[in-house]
Amino acid sequence: MKLSIMNNSENLHEITEGSAVIKTRGDVFYNPVQEFNRDLSITVISAFAKQLHNEKLSKNPKLQAEGSDSWQAGTKCDNGLYILEALSATGLRSIRYAKEIPGVREIIANDLQLKAVEDIGNNIKNNKVEHLVTPSHSDAVMLMYQHKQNRFNVIDLDPYGCPSIFLDSAIQAIADGGLLLVTATDMAVLAGNSPETSYTKYGAISLRIKSCHEMALRILLQCIESHANRYGKYIEPLLSLSVDFYIRVFVRVHSGQYKCKFSTSKLSHVYQCTGCDSFTLQPLGITKANEKNSNLVKFKIPTGPFVDRKCEHCNHPHHMGGPIWSAPLHSPDFVQQVLQMDMDKLKTFRRMQGILTVISEELIDVPLYYTLEKLCGTLHLETPQMNTIRSAILNAGYRVSFSHMNKTSIKTDAPTKVIWDIMRCWEKSHPVSKKRLLEGTPVAGILSKPADKEYSFNMHPEANPPSRKSGILRFQENPLPCWGPGFRNTAMIGDQTNPKSKRNQGKRKRDTSNDSSKEIEAK
């Protein structure tokens, strides 16, 4: 991204990102950290456009007669994607979609602020994409309700904060099989700092758990699914990410009353131990084979609860959160399609390649994960190398993978009992200090029970994943100094040397010290 500030009579800022060059006023929101978000969205929508085009060809071979010239970025495609960017701000994203995504029919760049819409219109003209992008000055929710008949193939929702107020209208405005892109930046709510607020916004209780970022994704997905089910629709997650300060999901929305019945089996409550942080999932519904007709299934309610009043590992009580989406977060086939797309020209190419490769290695049928430091911290143990623990799990006959959300994550289908038994075996050769074994503590409760068997820590050939061996950029550092979601209605491109986020660092500490000095002076 190239950024230059032009102090002319209109106080316009010129921003160059990808194939787009835009000019905007300082009071219109623009966050340079989100370039990765925009690059990834362009790549995912391009892969989706290709997939949707192939699906249409399989149903109607006559479409092949349409010339390949219309399937190029920047060219109008009559049978292409109808895209809505509901909260456009500067119009940068829509312009980049028009210039970099092939197979586009029309893009609506909408915003509620009149000044922003004026800038969007000027930027569309300056980038010469009037044939593809149309500016819109409207309330996003009302605009989507007005398109319940003329539906969009792609809807991009990238709000500041919680997206839930847009979901009902978005579900009704998306075409059958369309792609819905949703961002949430209120991570404190989704990560368990305010579970009551999480319920009011998303209809689920969040927990302060080490895998809180994955739980945040799963809370958002269940929220989208619940809105879809009200209209006889259901979702298919293609790609779900937690990155920087936000989460982002790419889901296809399908119609089908019968398929909606499977939703309860895709959702679960989560029991989290307050002592050792062990977690157990209890599905809202289960399916069983129909003995009379193999093509049908029976929908049942599970018996429970799946845990005792006290944790079986450390004898502490549980918290209960959810419901969360407990089905796969990604489509492995689609992730591979995205990885095969031409991304070399994008500035964040290395970062996209790394995170998508790690995602392609994740166990998609295993919700949530442990972290190595939490397992060792609970037992006050010396921390082993990651490959040592991964080898013990693999040697025991279970699967294990990283999660793209945490560099010390352990995502495995091994039961929690096996994980603690492995840690007990590690403790035998690296004993914990006796002063830590206080009665009633999680460490005492766990280590007082013997392991069922001895586990081998010999190095397993698959302990080191291919992404780690290849040396790709798997986990990223902070993208910029003082990075974050920014401030609403702020361009974030003014005082780069001394931004407000930097000026506010240590503010409370300074205020406390000032109060202390005043007290001394008063005395």
pLDDT tens for residues 246-267? 999 999 999 999 999 999 999 9
- What is the full DSSP assignment across 187-200? HHHHTTS-HHHHHH
Lowest mean pLDDT among 59-63, 339-343, 360-364, 463-467: 59-63
| Closest C-alpha to 389, from 298, 463, 454, 450 | 463
Residue 505 binned pLDDT confidence (cut-offs 50, 70, 90) = low
Better-predicted residue by pLDDT, 480 or 352? 352
Q: What pLDDT does residue 244 have? A: 87
* pLDDT exceeds cutoff 70 at 488: no
* pLDDT exceeds cutoff 60 at 491: no
* pLDDT exceeds cutoff 70 at 194: yes
In the numeric block, the tokens 């349409």 are attached to 66
Q: How many other CB atoms sit within 10 Å of the CB of residue 208?
A: 14
What percent of the chain clears pLDDT 90, i.e. is strictly above it? 72
Q: What pLDDT does residue 482 have? A: 53
Q: What pLDDT does residue 23 have? A: 84
| Closest C-alpha to 77, from 118, 46, 122, 113 | 46
Query: Tokens for 189?
Result: 């709510």
Average pLDDT, the chain: 88
CA distance 321 to 303: 18
What percent of the chain clears pLDDT 70, i.e. is strictly above it? 85
- The torsion angles phi and psi of 477, rounded to 5 degrees, stand at -80, 175
Domains by residue range for the chain, with CATH: 369-460 (3.30.56.70)
Residue 9 binned pLDDT confidence (cut-offs 50, 70, 90) = very low
* pLDDT exceeds cutoff 70 at 499: no
Q: What is the mean pLDDT of residues 184-189?
A: 95
Query: Tokens for 461?
Result: 């050939």
CA distance 306 to 293: 30
pLDDT tens for residues 17-56? 989 998 877 655 667 778 999 999 999 999 999 999 888 8
* pLDDT exceeds cutoff 60 at 79: yes
Q: Are 474 and 358 in contact (CB under 8 A)?
A: yes
- What is the full DSSP assignment across 210-237? TTHHHHHHHHHHHHHHHHHHTTTEEEEE
* pLDDT exceeds cutoff 80 at 463: yes
* pLDDT exceeds cutoff 50 at 292: yes
Q: What pLDDT does residue 27 have? A: 59
- The torsion angles phi and psi of 156, rounded to 5 degrees, stand at -110, 115
- Helix (H) / strand (E) element for 84: namely strand 76-85
Q: What pLDDT does residue 2 have? A: 43
Q: What pLDDT does residue 508 have? A: 57
* pLDDT exceeds cutoff 90 at 404: yes
Q: What pLDDT does residue 364 have? A: 94
Residue 494 binned pLDDT confidence (cut-offs 50, 70, 90) = very low
Pairing of strands 104-111, 76-85: parallel
